[in-house]
Amino acid sequence: MLLEHRVAVVTGAASGIGREIAQVFAGEGARIAAFDRSREAGDDLLAALESAGDRDPLFVHGDVRVAADVERAMETVVATAGRIDILVNCAGVREIGDVYTMPTEEWENVIAINLSGTFYCCQSAARRMRETGGGSIVNMASVAGLIGLSHRPAYSAAKHGIVGLTKSLARDLAAAGIRVNALCPGVIRTPLTEQYFADDGFEQELMVSVPLQRAGASSDVAQAALYLASDMASYVTGVALPVDGGWLAEKSFVSGLGPSSFSASHETTDTE
């Protein structure tokens, strides 16, 4: 097993990608400390981990926007499990909105949860990891951390911020044996994106825009997180890895409706 004897804190673990990561990591032998603001869904995860026979999972209720909650959660994990080896920052929300009318509170909230919350968790966990000889941090950015997604100014800014934070911390924490990496998922089917799939044209659009021609599953992201969190990635730090079915590799006319000369069956400009 890849994570035997490791203690893994997963924020946003009560739903979607974070929940899948908690379950995959537990299956690889990690002791899971789930941190989420949803108590009911957190209890449900705990019951699922326990019934799968996983090793003494913990659930800590709290809000990543509140630095004192984060500090209390990390303290609880160390008091109960003795150490923190892995931190996966998955707690996140997104907005869809018009930049001209977006309320400032919405901007502040999206930045507070996605970016400040990620920083508070990295800082608080890194202090403990340094004391026990190192660790691995995986921050959940997004393709919106590498390109600007329209109608999502705060989300795109926060996710770009997470990529920058990841690279900065990778340098600063390396001496303490702490690796810091980011994942940049494309469209992953979870409660966060479920409403997109209600639109008949959405999956058709994915077929055109995503070379692997499908939405991602939480398990696609969880396997990438497992790689980065485990010793398989022992020489990898400071990367922002897309898990997007090739979406970002496609720089063409996204809708596939570009001028036909753009996709001629055969052509070269080298006439010499």
Ligand X SMILES: NC(=O)c1ccc[n+]([C@@H]2O[C@H](COP(=O)([O-])OP(=O)(O)OC[C@H]3O[C@@H](n4cnc5c(N)ncnc54)[C@H](O)[C@@H]3O)[C@@H](O)[C@H]2O)c1
Indicate which residues carry an active-site annotation. Answer: 155
Handedness of CA 224, 230, 233, 238 (dihedral sign): positive
Reduce the DSSP state of residue 89 to 3 states and report it. Answer: strand
* Least distance to ligand X, CB of residue 74, Å: 13
* Least distance to ligand X, CB of residue 253, Å: 23
Per-residue H/E/C for 122-169: HHHHHHHHHHCCCEEEEEECCHHHCCCCCCCHHHHHHHHHHHHHHHHH
- Is 120:64 a contact under the CB 8 Å cutoff? yes
Helix (H) or strand (E) holding 30: none
Q: Which is nearer to ligand X, 11 or 166 (CB)?
A: 11
DSSP percent split of the chain into helix, strand, coil, nearest 5: 50, 15, 40
Of the candidates 14, 80, 73, 9, the residue with the CA atom closest to the CA atom of residue 46: 14
Q: Which is nearer to ligand X, 38 or 132 (CB)?
A: 38
- Is 32:26 a contact under the CB 8 Å cutoff? yes
Q: Which residues contact ligand X (rule: CB under 6 A)?
A: 11-12, 14-18, 36-38, 41, 63-65, 90-94, 113, 117, 140, 142, 185, 187-188, 190-193
Phi, psi of 266 (to 5 degrees): -155, 130
* Least distance to ligand X, CB of residue 190, Å: 3
Distance CA 161, CA 112 (A): 11
Phi-psi region of 176 (alpha: psi -120 to 50; beta: other; left: phi over 0): alpha
Q: Which is nearer to ligand X, 135 or 242 (CB)?
A: 242
Residue 64 Cα distances to 118, 180, 246, angstroms = 7, 18, 31
* Least distance to ligand X, CB of residue 178, Å: 21
* Least distance to ligand X, CB of residue 63, Å: 4
Q: Which is nearer to ligand X, 6 or 37 (CB)?
A: 37
Q: Which is nearer to ligand X, 176 or 213 (CB)?
A: 213
